[in-house]
């Protein structure tokens, strides 16, 4: 039985949520800071844009989860747009695609910590694709994983400034507790220090299967470039936080990694009031398409 047999709409004609096609970065207040040792972006979500941002992030998650099966994304869009309920066979498939792991269903939601980390990873992913950081438009973005409990790296971004391929390996965190954002950043830096080569080995394996010969070769060199702190390598830490006061959360960045250029250390802090509730709002939007 095909997806058409289940009564799914043609994905090319499916109605879109109101914010479909908009950029998340257009809904945010963005300030980019550059120092002699690192770059970082401080991003805040205005209260007036909260609902639109939650819908945009949910739509991005649904699209990414459906991947190379756009008929499922079309079905999710149609149902989200107050379409008819899915037939059980189709809904079961959509639950597996859009609501398994780290998200859950209304009858069995994922735990809050996993949900918050999962949404934080996709906020970073969407902002990176939109070129809201400081290097330029990426050539390729790997990540996030299917689940926040997967053991690989959170994200890898490939750029080609001035015709030369470079990469940034990212660690992404959600922060809803009372501790300082600075402590979360330092912990993420230590995690990358200890696990970077293992993370890069996974990304390298995937990238070596690409059709582009230049990218294939570059992915095969990721580990050695990081190990040597080469100009082509770099790292980043992203924190999505409920904290209002950010302070100098990347102040210890120069103590991590032996990079010598300021753009080799990248940072991102996304401040969202009551982030735990925002993550649940994103999940509710995902459920609305099931």
Per-residue pLDDT of the chain (290 residues; tens, 9 = 90+): 323 333 333 333 233 343 446 889 999 999 999 999 999 999 999 999 999 999 999 999 999 999 888 899 999 999 998 888 999 999 999 999 999 889 999 999 999 999 999 999 999 999 999 987 767 789 999 988 887 777 777 899 999 988 999 999 999 999 988 889 999 999 999 999 999 999 999 999 999 999 999 999 999 999 999 999 999 999 999 999 998 878 789 999 999 999 999 999 999 999 999 999 999 999 999 999 99
CB neighbours (10 Å) of residue 173? 21
CB 166 within 8 A of CB 119: no
Predicted TM-score of the model (pTM): 0.90
- Token pair 């949900």 is found at 115
Question: Could you tell me the residue ranges of all domains in the chain?
Answer: 29-287
How far, in Å, CA of 101 to CA of 122, rounded?
Answer: 14
Phi and psi at residue 48, in whole multiples of 5°? -65, -20
Pairing of strands 39-44, 140-142: unpaired
Task: Pinpoint the alpha helices (H) of 81-157.
Answer: 88-98, 112-129
């Amino acid at each position: 039985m095909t997806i058409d047999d289940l009564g799914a709409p043609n994905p090319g004609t499916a109605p879109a949520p109101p914010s479909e096609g908009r950029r998340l970065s257009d809904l945010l207040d963005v300030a980019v800071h550059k120092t002699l040792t690192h770059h970082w972006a401080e991003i805040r979500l205005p209260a007036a844009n909260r609902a639109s941002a939650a819908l945009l992030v949910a739509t991005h998650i649904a699209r990414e989860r459906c991947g190379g099966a756009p008929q499922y994304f079309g079905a999710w869009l149609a149902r989200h747009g107050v379409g008819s309920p899915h037939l059980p066979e189709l809904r079961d498939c959509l639950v597996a695609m859009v609501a398994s792991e780290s998200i859950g269903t209304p009858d069995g939601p994922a735990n809050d910590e996993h949900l918050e980390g999962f949404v934080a990873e996709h906020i970073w992913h969407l902002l990176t694709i939109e070129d809201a950081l400081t290097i330029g438009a990426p050539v390729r973005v790997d990540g996030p994983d299917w689940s926040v409990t997967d053991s690989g790296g959170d994200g890898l971004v490939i750029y080609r400034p001035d015709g030369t391929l470079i990469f940034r390996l990212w660690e992404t965190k959600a922060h809803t507790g009372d501790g300082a954002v600075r402590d979360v950043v330092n912990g993420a830096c230590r995690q990358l220090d200890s696990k970077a080569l293992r993370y890069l080995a996974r990304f390298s394996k995937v990238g070596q299967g690409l059709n582009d010969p230049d990218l294939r070769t570059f992915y095969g060199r990721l580990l050695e470039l990081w190990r040597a702190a080469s100009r082509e390598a770099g790292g980043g830490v992203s924190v999505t936080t409920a904290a209002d006061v950010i302070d100098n959360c990347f102040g210890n960045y120069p103590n991590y990694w032996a990079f010598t250029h300021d753009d080799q250390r990248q940072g991102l802090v996304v401040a969202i009031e009551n982030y735990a509730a925002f993550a649940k709002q994103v999940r509710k939007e995902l459920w609305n398409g099931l």
